[in-house]
């Protein structure tokens, strides 16, 4: 009976069933049926095919990583034949074919342990338990293998000294200066275990004595480059714990950076078992350089509590916020609505930048409209280069950034439940931090509060960027709200104009790429300042219109997918030839919209209610519900075409009603007043931003009459 190298649970071997996917395995077998589906394995690129990549898992064992399993295009992979890669064995077929899955972790250090999968053994082995017949101390692939390259040429000498100490043959006191960090850790733990027990603590938790209470200088992790060979003290947060077949590796992060700290108890055994992720700690050790990377050999480690913990936490938070804060805030073009919220723009940009620095994923949730897509992509365009710079891995941008469209600009419980389920699964399986959620052209109204409340239960930060009139309750439910209405500004703008300004301050380097985005988001009466900004970026009025219409069409299809590459090709064509894509898709948009409008106009019902001209369209009977254009887009177009002969356009479905008018119509007030007349209809505002009400289908006729009277009363 052994213990799991990750959680310490008693198991037959070294890894429990729960954490099988947290470790990476090296396969020592010779046939496919000896592999264990579900496990992640180290492999070697054998070659490419049109449909995927062949990966050698072991001798004479090769599997296929099909292109459908990749989170990027096959041609964008930068793997060469012979490269080490990490894949998951998903299935071994009866004919011996192996189906492989993509791993977002593409370095050994990103796994929490490394084990040997030898079919001749009853369980997976530690590398230290495998005799490779290699006695060359200078070989980097010696008998003890770890995740971060802590294999040392002097390991034999260290083990000999430790063995001598355990048998009573302690080294002379004069030799204390040559004691290794691993021995110091062991000695410190033994010397303090009695004190810990007396104070009610459990065995294994080190108490800072000796060096931790001495005169070591407290330094930042960012300064360790200049301190190789020195004993130092650092304070920070445990951001990762990896148990290797040798030492335990704690990643400690402070306001200036992160560093791996190796602590040794015995091979494959967890050092400081009471230390957990997110603990705030003080650590003493010697700074060393291992294969080009800094590492601290831990000599003493203690978890800080109460005032000490709060002091370090506040210092780190303040420093990180200051580092993330953009210096200047300048709008992309003259826009009074944007000018009114520049302070909030700066706070939103700071929050996004800080999430990237903290290695937290950024999830952008946006309305599935042109305004939502353009604003969401602006944030995406700014964040991705920062994420690549922060992490380096080719797939980091897919792991640390996600953009997901929302229906009707409302973040409801279904959306929130999906997000929470995903983020908790990622935290459990991959130790991923909780993400920052950024809502663009969505979330400003109280209909999203239930979804926000669920996110708040788990402490996931939330930012709203929206041009719609925001409810005061939303301000209390999120960390930052960028909305001109909250600043008392009534000038017309779009969420994209706001989001593009935020994006320009998330990453100043992409400001020049964003100039045309606000113009794309206006369907009519585009402010002259944005027309000029688009022209300066090389986009005339026709080009802007084509992009807008193309995005509107593509937003309809696969509405829950981000379509990252396609939308980027439309908004940011790399050359003149690529600009033809928007024009081609725009033609399809116009054909489909014109055909639907023609059918609708032949079936409009015209009414006059107390002197107000109203047009009513039965969208169930005279519109294709599951084909382009969607109801919102169709009614918007009808309203634009008929504003001269109708004050109100109404779309009536079986259990929903949409209102379009140039007048300032409060749909919540409409629902409240109409409910007095249609009191059995279950009438309520579904989306204030989209002018949508919902009701019981059996009361359809009564609802229409009551709503028209309520709307006319507001005009």
Residue 14 or 128, more confident: 14
Every domain of the chain with CATH number 3.10.310 lies at 603-714
- As beta bridge partners, residue 365 has 404, 439
CA-CA distances (angstroms) from residue 120 to 27, 82, 131, 508, 531?
Answer: 11, 27, 14, 57, 71
Mapped onto helix, strand or coil, the DSSP state of residue 235 is strand
Give the Cα-Cα-Cα angle 465, 318, 478 (nearest 5 degrees).
25
Q: Is the pLDDT of residue 347 over 90?
A: yes
Q: Is the pLDDT of residue 431 over 90?
A: no
DSSP-derived secondary structure letter, 95: T
Q: Give 235-262 pLDDT, tens digit per residue.
A: 999 988 888 777 899 999 998 889 999 9
pLDDT score of 11: 84
Q: Is the pLDDT of residue 609 over 90?
A: yes
pLDDT score of 689: 87
133: pLDDT confidence band, cut at 50, 70 and 90?
very low
Q: Is the pLDDT of residue 444 over 50?
A: yes
Q: Is the pLDDT of residue 135 over 70?
A: no
40: pLDDT confidence band, cut at 50, 70 and 90?
very high
pLDDT score of 170: 34
DSSP string, 29-47: -SSGGGS-TT-EEEEEEEE
DSSP-derived secondary structure letter, 79: -
Q: Give 352-364 pLDDT, tens digit per residue.
A: 999 999 889 999 9
Q: What percent of the chain has pLDDT over 90?
A: 63
The dotted CATH code for 2-125 is: 2.40.50.140
Question: What value does the mean pLDDT take over residues 530-551?
Answer: 97
DSSP-derived secondary structure letter, 473: H
Those residues with Cβ within 8 angstroms of residue 385's Cβ, 6 or more apart along the chain or in another chain: 507, 509, 510
pLDDT score of 430: 78
| SS3 track for 157-188 | HHHHHHHHHHCCCCCCHHHHHHCCHHHHHHHH
pLDDT score of 285: 95
- Torsion from C-alpha of 376, 379, 385, 391, nearest 10 degrees: -90
Where are any strands of DSSP class E within 304-397? Answer: 362-367
- Angle, helices 306-324/342-357, rounded to nearest 10 degrees: 120
* Among the four given CATH numbers 2.140.10.10, 3.30.390.50, 3.90.1640.30, 3.20.20.140, the one describing domain 325-585: 3.90.1640.30
d(CA 376, CA 363): 10
pLDDT score of 394: 64
pLDDT score of 186: 40
- As beta bridge partners, residue 464 has 439, 481
Tell me, yes or no, if the pTM score tops 0.75: no
Q: Give 8-34 pLDDT, tens digit per residue.
A: 788 888 888 888 888 899 999 988 999
pLDDT score of 489: 94
Q: Is the pLDDT of residue 144 over 60?
A: no
pLDDT score of 201: 35
Q: Give 178-203 pLDDT, tens digit per residue.
A: 334 334 334 333 333 333 333 333 33
Q: Is the pLDDT of residue 393 over 90?
A: no
pLDDT score of 293: 85
Please state, as a whole number, how many other Cβ atoms lie within 10 Å of the Cβ of residue 490. 12
The dotted CATH code for 603-714 is: 3.10.310
Q: Give 55-77 pLDDT, tens digit per residue.
A: 999 878 999 999 888 877 777 78
Please state, as a whole number, how many other Cβ atoms lie within 10 Å of the Cβ of residue 483. 25
pLDDT score of 387: 93
Question: What value does the mean pLDDT take over residues 423-440?
Answer: 90
pLDDT score of 480: 96
Every domain of the chain with CATH number 3.90.1640.30 lies at 325-585
Give residue 499's Cα distance to chain centre: 18
Query: Tokens at residue 235, please?
Result: 């304070």
pLDDT score of 125: 85
304: pLDDT confidence band, cut at 50, 70 and 90?
very high
266: pLDDT confidence band, cut at 50, 70 and 90?
confident
131: pLDDT confidence band, cut at 50, 70 and 90?
low
Q: Give 205-242 pLDDT, tens digit per residue.
A: 334 333 444 578 899 999 999 999 999 999 999 988 88
Domain 182-319 matching CATH 2.60.200.20: the answer reads no
147: pLDDT confidence band, cut at 50, 70 and 90?
very low
CA-CA distances (angstroms) from residue 657 to 558, 631, 660?
Answer: 24, 10, 10
């Amino acid at each position: 009976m052994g213990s799991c190298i990750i959680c310490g649970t008693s198991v037959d071997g070294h890894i429990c069933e729960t954490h099988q996917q947290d470790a990476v395995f090296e396969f020592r077998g010779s046939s496919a049926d000896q592999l264990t589906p579900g496990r992640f394995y180290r492999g070697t690129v054998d070659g490419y095919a049109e449909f995927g990549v062949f990966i050698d898992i072991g001798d004479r064992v090769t599997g296929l990583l099909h292109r459908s399993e990749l989170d990027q295009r096959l041609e964008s992979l930068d793997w060469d034949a012979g490269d080490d890669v990490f894949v998951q064995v998903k299935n071994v077929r009866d004919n011996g074919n192996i189906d492989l899955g993509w791993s977002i972790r593409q370095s050994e250090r990103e796994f929490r342990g490394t084990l040997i999968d030898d079919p001749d053994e009853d369980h997976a082995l530690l590398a230290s338990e495998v005799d490779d017949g290699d006695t060359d101390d200078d070989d980097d692939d010696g008998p003890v293998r770890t995740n971060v390259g802590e294999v040392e040429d002097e390991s034999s000498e260290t083990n000999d000294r430790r063995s001598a100490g355990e048998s009573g043959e302690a080294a002379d006191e004069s030799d204390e200066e040559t004691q290794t960090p691993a021995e110091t850790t062991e000695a410190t733990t033994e010397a303090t275990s009695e004190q810990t027990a007396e104070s009610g603590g459990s065995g294994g938790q080190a108490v800072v004595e000796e060096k931790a209470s001495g005169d070591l200088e407290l330094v930042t992790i960012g300064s360790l480059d200049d301190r190789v060979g020195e004993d130092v003290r650092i304070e920070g947060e445990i951001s990762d714990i990896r148990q290797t077949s040798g030492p335990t590796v704690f990643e400690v992060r402070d306001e200036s950076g992160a560093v791996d700290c190796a602590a040794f108890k015995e091979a494959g055994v967890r050092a400081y078992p009471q230390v957990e992720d997110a603990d705030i700690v003080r650590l003493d050790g010697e700074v060393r350089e291992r294969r080009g990377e800094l590492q601290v050999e831990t000599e003493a480690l203690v978890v800080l509590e109460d005032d000490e913990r709060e002091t370090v936490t506040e210092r780190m938070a303040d420093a990180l916020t200051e580092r993330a804060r953009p210096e200047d805030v300048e709008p992309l073009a003259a826009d009074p609505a944007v000018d009114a919220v520049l302070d909030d723009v700066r706070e939103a940009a700071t929050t996004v930048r800080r999430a990237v620095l903290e290695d937290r994923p950024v999830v952008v949730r946006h309305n599935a409209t042109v305004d939502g897509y353009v604003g969401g992509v602006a944030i995406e365009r700014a964040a991705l280069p920062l994420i690549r710079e922060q992490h380096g891995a080719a797939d980091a941008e897919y792991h640390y950034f996600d953009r997901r469209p929302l229906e009707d600009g409302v973040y409801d419980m279904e959306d929130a439940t999906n997000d929470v389920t995903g983020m908790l699964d990622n935290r459990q399986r991959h130790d991923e931090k909780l993400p920052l959620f950024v809502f663009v052209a969505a979330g400003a109204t109280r209909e999203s509060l239930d979804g926000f409340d669920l996110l708040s239960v788990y402490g996931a930060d939330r930012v709203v960027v929206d041009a719609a009139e925001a409810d005061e309750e939303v301000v209390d439910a999120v960390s930052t709200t960028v909305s001109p209405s909250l600043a008392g500004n009534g000038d017309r703008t779009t969420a994209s104009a706001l989001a593009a300004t935020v994006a320009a301050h998330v990453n100043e380097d992409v400001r020049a790429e964003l100039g045309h985005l606000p113009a794309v988001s206006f369907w009519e009466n585009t402010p002259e300042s944005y027309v000029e900004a688009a022209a300066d970026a090389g986009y005339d009025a026709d080009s802007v219109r084509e992009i807008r219409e193309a995005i509107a069409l593509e937003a309809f299809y696969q509405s829950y997918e981000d379509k990252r590459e396609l939308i980027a090709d439309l908004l940011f064509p790399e050359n003149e030839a690529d600009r033809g894509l928007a024009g081609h898709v725009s033609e399809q948009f116009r054909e489909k919209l014109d055909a639907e409008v023609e059918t609708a106009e032949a079936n409009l019902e015209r009414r006059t209610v107390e002197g107000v001209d109203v047009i009513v369209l039965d969208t169930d009977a005279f519109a294709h519900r599951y084909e382009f254009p969607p109801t919102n887009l169709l009614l918007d177009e009808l309203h634009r075409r008929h504003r001269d002969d109708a004050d109100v356009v109404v779309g009536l479905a079986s259990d929903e009603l949409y209102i379009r008018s140039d007048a300032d119509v409060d749909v919540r007030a409409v629902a409240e007043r109409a409910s007095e007349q249609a009191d059995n209809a279950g009438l309520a505002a579904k989306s204030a931003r989209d002018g949508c009400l919902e009701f019981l289908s059996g009361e359809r006729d009564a609802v229409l009459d009551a709503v028209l009277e309520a709307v006319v009363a507001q005009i």
